[in-house]
Structure 1
């Protein structure tokens, strides 16, 4: 009996969602294909029916994860009624919940250190997705790309450091400072 129409795409989506969670939490290198497939509720034997190799999965996962992050941040911006919309994005991105929930957070802080050693295919996709985030920030804040790059760099760097320390007060202080200075960069650019 054949699978229903769209079955293969649904399975592929489950694999990508499992990979996104795994890569966000543990990076690329330490995550195996069998681990990802198990997270999707599948056996690892079916992986190659959906992807040529792990690099293709990493690339598609980066696309998915950035789209997921932009959608989440756009929702926060759309709900903001008082402050500039970009402030809602900065506040959400540099929040304790984003810091603490790596498995559903932005993939940029999770993979930035590792991607420099990845394949050219992965680096090309990561570069494109990073540019999408810069464009999103720049367009929402109505700032030029250079300032948008500085704001995003501040945000990503802050999350990396806030997740890295084992001192909760320092981590919270890093988030607070990051929020303040990301907003200040935008304010000074006007």
Structure 2
């Protein structure tokens, strides 16, 4: 019996969603294809009917994860009533909720440490997604590209460090320092 129309695309999306969740949590090299497929409710054998290789999946999962993060941050910004939208985005991005919920958080802090060791094709895709995220943040903040780069560097670096340390108080202190620095970057660009 044939599958219904759109079935293959639906399955592919489940695989990408599972991969994005796994890569956000543990990075690329620590995740196996069977783990991703299990997360999608599928067997490992079906992987190659959807993707040529793991690299192709990494590229598509990274794009998916950045779309997801931008959509989430746009929702946070849209709810902002008593402060500029970028301030709400900074507050959320550098929060303990975002730090602790890696499976739905931004993929950039998780992959930034290992991406340079992956293939050139994956690095190019990561670069495109980082540029897209930097443009989103720059536009949201109403700042030039250079200031947007500094802001994203501060935000992503803060989350990466806050997730890496074993001391909960230090992690919270890093988030607070990162928020203050991000806000100073915005204030300096205005004044």
- Specify the TM-score bucket, using the shorter chain as the normaliser: over 0.9
Partner residue, 2:178: 178
After superposition, residues 38-187 of structure 1 pair within 5 angstroms as 38-187=38-187
Question: 1:82 deviation in Å?
Answer: 1.1
* Distance in structure 2 (CA, Å) of the matches to 1:170 and 1:110: 19
- Give the TM-score taking structure 1 as reference length: 0.99
Tell me, which stretches of 5 or more residues in structure 1 are unaligned? none
Q: Aligned residue pairs: how many?
A: 190
- Structure 2 spans left out of the alignment, 5+ residues: none
**1:47 aligned counterpart, secondary structure:** helix
**How far apart are 1:173 and its partner, in Å?**
0.9
Distance (whole Å) between structure 2 residues aligned to residue 14 and residue 47 of structure 1: 11
> Residues of 1 paired with 2:63 and 2:179: CA distance?
26
Q: TM-score, normalised by structure 2?
A: 0.98
Q: Aligned partners of 2:152, 2:72: CA distance in 1, in Å?
A: 16
Deviation at 1:167, TM superposition (A): 1.3
Question: Matched residues in 1 for 2:114 and 2:6: separation?
Answer: 34
CA distance in 1, matches of 2:137, 2:30: 31
- Report the secondary structure of 1:180's partner residue: helix
Instruction: State the Cα RMSD in Å.
Output: 0.6
Q: CA deviation at 1:85?
A: 0.2
- Looking at structure 1, the residues matched to 159 and 134 of structure 2 have their Cα atoms a distance apart, in angstroms, of 16
SS, match of residue 103 in structure 2: helix
SS of residue paired to 2:112: helix
* TM-aligned CA deviation for residue 42 of structure 1: 0.2
Deviation of the 1:168 alpha carbon: 1.2
- The CA deviation at 1:121 is 1.1
SS at match of 2:52: coil
